[in-house]
Amino acid sequence: MEPNSAPSNSQSAFDALDACCKAIMQKMGPVAIEDWRVSDYNRLSSQLGKQTKVYLSVNTLKRLFGQLKTPQRYFPQKATRDALSQFIGYRDWQEYELVNAAAQFGEVKPEKQHKVAEIEKNKSKSYRKYLYAGISALLLIILAGGFYIWKSTNGPTGIKLICENPFGNVPHTAVFKLKSKSVIKDRDGFKIDFMDEALQTPISGEKEVAKFFRNPGVVYATLLYHDKPVDTVSVYMQTKGWVANSGNDTSRAYPIAGLKPLNPKHIYVSKEQLDSAGLATNKPFLVGFSNIKPSHINGDNFVFNCRVFSEQSRPGTQCVETTIIILGEKHRHLLTLNRSNCVAFSQYKFSEKRVLGSEQFLGALAFDPINGGDIEIRVEHKKASVILNGKSVLTTSYVKSIGKVMGIKILFSGIGKAISPELKDLATGEIF
């Protein structure tokens, strides 16, 4: 984050920032800020990101708390201030400033207490009435201002994000627009977040947005109003059975064998096929196998089984990952597995429930399928379990339904192989 110049009322703004930082330190625990280590700053960054979707670097946090000296006092930009205030329970920075100012207004400094006492003794009852009336008027103004802020930040009601062509093949250009029963007055407050598939893009009532998607899968496009989620729609890049694509980074995708269907009992692509697709195999790369199609299978009540093989570490790659993704209409399940020395990069995500190996030790998820390994994911009424090589290694639960299953993705660091993946509805027996 780049610092902004200090505001015109810098002293009051910095006082509010100091009070906010103090509240954050109290929330994080009893350790004094002077004794914080990098792990403490990383813990704050992680918790802040989970709650507000804003991730701050260690150096930015050190500047905020005055532990990293700068020529001029650091004052963060509005998005950062909003995140800090949201972290301690406020809607945004403007609401926090109002509440903080009101609290400061009500304070009486100790050195002035004896003077105040003398004045209070000489006040008449009528003066007190005027004083109380003035305070009441001030509180009404603060409440009215808070209501205005709440109304403006929550945005207009009844706004929906629409995708005019949500189902397509690969590649696919999807068209998005806003739908509302009333005129959309705020033309600058809306944008669409496409997760990792595309850049955030502004949208208004009169404007359509077209986005190009090159990878098989499901994209969850979220409408944001002043950076707060309002609505979500899904876009499906369908396949004809299991297909393969690959890439060295997230900006380019290489369809393998023209995305022709692979043998579902032996899903594999060779180095020669990767070379012919134009992939630079002398650099770290991913190979992804995808099967994307509509189904009636309940994404909260199914079992998935697959035997996988991964290759040995190749030059430039120390940790070889295996990832299983179950794509639903609304959310997804994700499981990333690593060998025991790399479990810091493991993670699991069942709908809204997400745990990273960098924040919680996931040693039980250690998995090394060089010679083959069996993965089972079982979800029964939003209670999930993971079984690796016949051993139960994880149980958890979540709240938000992912809807019907719309696809499966199996990703490998380097060249991997999947044998007979199967996903079955536990209630109906339908197989994906």
Supply φ then ψ for residue 275, to 5 degrees.
Answer: -60, -40
**C-alpha closest to that of 90 among 20, 144, 31, 141:** 20
* Secondary structure of residue 354 in the 3-state scheme: strand
Contacts of 320 (CB under 8 A, 6+ apart): 310, 311, 312, 313, 338, 339, 342, 412, 413, 414
Reported for 237-241, long-range contacts at CB under 8 A and 24+ positions apart, including other chains, are 237/168, 237/169, 237/170, 237/171, 237/172, 237/213, 237/292, 238/167, 238/168, 238/169, 238/170, 238/292, 238/293, 239/169, 239/170, 239/290, 239/291, 239/292, 239/293, 241/291
Lowest mean pLDDT among 77-86, 148-157, 325-334, 390-399: 148-157
Helices (H), 6-124: 10-28, 38-52, 58-64, 78-87, 93-105, 113-122
**pLDDT score, position 107:** 47
- Report how far residue 345's alpha carbon sits from residue 253's, in angstroms, rounded to the nearest whole number: 23
| DSSP H or E run through 153 | helix 125-154
* Secondary structure of residue 115 in the 3-state scheme: helix
Residues pairing with 247 in the sheet: 286
pLDDT-above-90 percentage for the chain: 45
- pLDDT, tens digit (0-9, with 9 covering 90-100), for 280-314: 777 778 899 999 999 999 999 999 999 999 987 77
Q: Please give the DSSP secondary-structure letter assigned to residue 166.
A: -
Average pLDDT over residues 170-178: 92
| DSSP H or E run through 170 | none
**C-alpha closest to that of 21 among 51, 55, 50, 60:** 60
Lowest mean pLDDT among 11-15, 206-210, 361-365, 400-404: 11-15
Reported for 139-145, long-range contacts at CB under 8 A and 24+ positions apart, including other chains, are 139/102, 142/98, 142/99, 142/102, 145/98
Q: Please give the DSSP secondary-structure letter assigned to residue 257.
A: G
- Give the number of other Cβ atoms within 10 Å of residue 17's Cβ: 23
Half-sphere exposure of 69 (CA within 13 A, CB side): 1
Tokens of 140: 């009404």
Return the amino acid letter for 325: I
Lowest mean pLDDT among 167-176, 201-210, 398-407: 201-210
Domain 243-425 is of which CATH architecture?
Answer: Sandwich (2.60)
pLDDT at 40 over 60: yes
* Domain spans, the chain: 10-102, 108-154, 160-237, 243-425
- 160-237 domain in CATH 3.10.20? no
Q: Per-residue confidence at 315, pLDDT binned at 50, 70, 90?
A: low
Compute the CA torsion angle 323, 329, 330, 331 (nearest 10 deg): -10
- pLDDT, tens digit (0-9, with 9 covering 90-100), for 205-253: 778 899 998 889 999 999 998 888 889 999 999 999 999 988 765 445 6
- Report how far residue 84's alpha carbon sits from residue 82's, in angstroms, rounded to the nearest whole number: 6
CA distances from 422 to 220, 334, 407, 410 (A): 24, 16, 12, 12
**pLDDT score, position 320:** 87
